Amino acid sequence: MPPSALPSPLDRADLRARVHRALEAFLARQRDRFADIAEDLLPLADAVEALVLGGGKRLRPAFAYWGYRAAGGQDTDEVVAGVAALELLHTSALIHDDVIDASHTRRGEPSAHLRFAQLHEKSGWRGDPVAFGTATAILLGDLCLVWSDELLHASGVDPATLARARPVFDEMRTEVTLGQYLDVHTQATGDTSTRRAGLVARYKSAKYTVERPLLIGAALADAPAVVAHTYSGYGLPLGEAFQLRDDVLGVFGDPAVTGKPAGDDLREGKRTYLVAAAFEAADEAADSTSARELHARLGDPSLDPAGIDRLREIITGTGALARTERRIAELTGAALAALAGAPLDPTGAAVLTELASAATLRTG
């Protein structure tokens, strides 16, 4: 393929801008709907706009769009609007995840439940501000989930084309919800196995971040089964690698880049692959001191910077960080191998190759 046919970073930036415009137009219509009902609803519009339009990598729409293009689909604004619906699904998951984890920040701003607790307190309303914030965030997350469906169907994509993608979209929403429960259940039971951590990563993040968006793109393009098979072979390992990178950043990331306080995953007691690898290594080495410290400190909401640094030392010292980095590299390699020789449009396949790096080498 001649160099001029290769996608440029501008192509990907253009898609992000188009997705942003589709979301902006959709949310503007929702704001008008709210204003017609009651001004009291406008803070909901403010909160969603701040979260949806204020940041995000747009990876899920990107995988769906380039999966569609790599499968032979032609570019249209309607398809861009359709894949933008995945960003609303992602927003729903983020809002609910922050409630579940009692996280105070998201993308450097107050999380939704904290935002509305502060509104309640500032306004001098009756009742418990925390309860109000939690209830509002749950409703807001539900609203974004509903809107993901609405935007998909209001995108202008032909109904027969949408009908092909709908089963994948429905399966994706079920899977991410089940993945959230598996995550909560794992924290409650204290399961520290890497097998369990991998299962949670697959269903909480991997499938809905990469594989299912790709399969939505394939369905929109009416691609043959061999393309869907290729996308699963690429999407599942890459999605897991994406989540493992997220786990590393949750412990070692720069808050100025990630938008989350350093060590939040440790305070929340997340049984990630990174943490599970540390437990396994400590047990295999009969290092009871490290294992006891991990058990004692992990999940302590009052964990101070010194405590976080100590857990980082243990995770690094057990070799868990290095093991996780190797696992990310292995999974990424498996994903790229699945693309090799696949019957895909060269330009789309080139972007999917670049997206693998964007998903796994990121710092935020």
Question: Mind listing the pLDDT tens digit of every residue in the chain (364 residues)?
Answer: 333 344 555 577 899 999 999 999 999 999 999 999 999 999 999 999 999 999 888 999 999 999 999 999 999 999 999 999 999 999 999 999 999 988 898 888 899 999 999 999 999 999 999 999 999 999 999 999 999 999 999 999 999 999 999 999 999 999 999 999 999 999 899 898 999 999 999 998 889 999 999 999 999 999 999 999 999 999 999 999 999 999 999 899 888 888 777 788 899 888 899 999 999 898 777 667 888 888 889 989 889 999 999 999 999 999 999 999 999 999 999 999 999 989 999 999 999 999 999 899 888 7
Question: What per-residue confidence (pLDDT) applies to 153?
Answer: 96
Among 217, 259, 218, 213, CA closest to 236: 213
CA distances from 64 to 212, 231, 253, 357 (A): 8, 11, 27, 17
User: What confidence score (pLDDT) does residue 8 get?
Assistant: 52
- Residue 352's nearest CA partner among 250, 199, 213 is 213
CB 267 within 8 A of CB 303: yes
Tokens 């960003």, located at residue = 87
Buried b (16+ CB within 10 A) or exposed e, 29-44: ebbeebeeeeeeeebb
Q: Is 331 exposed, middle or buried (0-12, 13-18, 19+ CB in 10 A)?
A: buried
> Which H or E element spans position 250?
helix 225-252
Is the entire prediction scored with pTM above 0.75? Answer: yes
Distances (CA, A) of 121 to 46, 115, 326: 18, 10, 47
Q: What is the pLDDT of residue 268?
A: 86
> 65, 15 in Cβ contact below 8 A?
yes
The domain ranges of the chain are: 1-55+77-156, 158-364
Give the per-residue pLDDT at 257: 84
Q: Are 52 and 27 spatial neighbours (Cβ–Cβ below 8 Å)?
A: yes
Pick the CATH number of 158-364 from 3.30.300.210, 1.20.1250.20, 2.60.40.4070, 1.10.600.10: 1.10.600.10
**pLDDT on residue 10:** 52
Supply the pLDDT for residue 2: 39
**Which two tokens mark 194?**
């890497």
